[in-house]
């Protein structure tokens, strides 16, 4: 719409921006208290579409705000480089579904190394392709981390993560809050 200068009366926002807004407004009551003693470390994947293509860091900055509110700022491990300069996971643009597994994994090895350098036990991946790719690389290259969706951690931080929604969490989180 910007490209063709089409007038519109709506604003496009991501769910991440809404989570941040709702947390700031007190409408989404998350707490990092569950992780105060556990001290489980998390990192986050900045998906290409929101990390680079948006042209601003506002969404990835909101992503960090939301994550730190849910896990505790002291338990967040930043990848380097990050935000608009973060490495692609190698699974986007159809690569995950294209059937070129060896090439996809080779391309994504830089992301795997980046994740491992953080020492985080969990990688938050807001994008489904990133989630599947980073999980696959962890399995393939022997990474000792779990990949989870942002919503799962938010639910854990609100005390509403159901027992049947924990199957892909590690044993350190599987029983938290039950």
Tell which residue, 152, 171, 169, has the closest CA to residue 30.
Answer: 152
How does pLDDT run across 35-87, given as a tens digit for each residue? 999 999 999 999 887 777 777 888 999 999 999 999 999 999 999 999 988 88
Q: Which two tokens stand for residue 23?
A: 């947390």
> What pLDDT, in 10s, does the model give residues 169-178?
888 988 888 6
Is 82 domain-assigned?
Answer: yes
With respect to residue 93, please indicate whether it lies within any of the assigned structural domains: yes
Instruction: Give me the CATH number covering residue 136.
Output: 3.40.50
Full domain range(s) for residue 111 = 15-165
Number of domains making up the chain: 1
Whole-number Cα distances in Å, 73 to 25, 41, 47, 66, 69: 19, 10, 21, 10, 7
**Inside any domain, residue 151:** yes
What is d(CA 31, CA 29) in angstroms, rounded to the nearest whole number? 7
Q: Percent of the chain having pLDDT more than 70?
A: 99
Residue with tokens 């159901």: 162
pTM: 0.90
Q: Within 13 Å and on the Cβ side, how many CA atoms surround 42?
A: 32
Is 170 part of any domain?
A: no
Asked whether residue 140 is assigned to any structural domain, the reply reads yes
Question: 41, 121 in Cβ contact below 8 A?
Answer: yes
What tokens appear for 35 in the block?
């992780």
């Amino acid at each position: 719409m910007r490209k063709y200068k089409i007038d519109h009366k709506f604003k496009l926002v991501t769910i991440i921006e809404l989570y941040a807004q709702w947390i700031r407004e007190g409408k989404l009551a998350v707490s990092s208290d569950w992780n105060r003693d556990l001290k489980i470390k998390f990192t986050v994947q900045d998906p290409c579409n929101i990390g680079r293509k948006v042209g601003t860091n506002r969404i990835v900055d909101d992503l960090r705000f939301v994550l730190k509110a849910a896990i505790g700022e002291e338990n967040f491990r930043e990848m380097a480089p990050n935000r608009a300069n973060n490495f692609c996971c190698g699974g986007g643009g159809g690569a995950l579904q294209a059937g070129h597994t060896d090439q996809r994994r080779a391309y994504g090895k830089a992301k795997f190394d980046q994740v491992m350098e953080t020492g985080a036990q969990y990688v938050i991946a807001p994008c489904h392709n990133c989630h599947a790719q980073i999980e696959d690389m962890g399995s393939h290259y022997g990474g000792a981390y779990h990949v989870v969706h942002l919503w799962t951690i938010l639910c854990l931080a609100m005390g509403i993560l159901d027992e049947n929604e924990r199957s892909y969490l590690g044993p350190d989180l599987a029983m938290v809050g039950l």
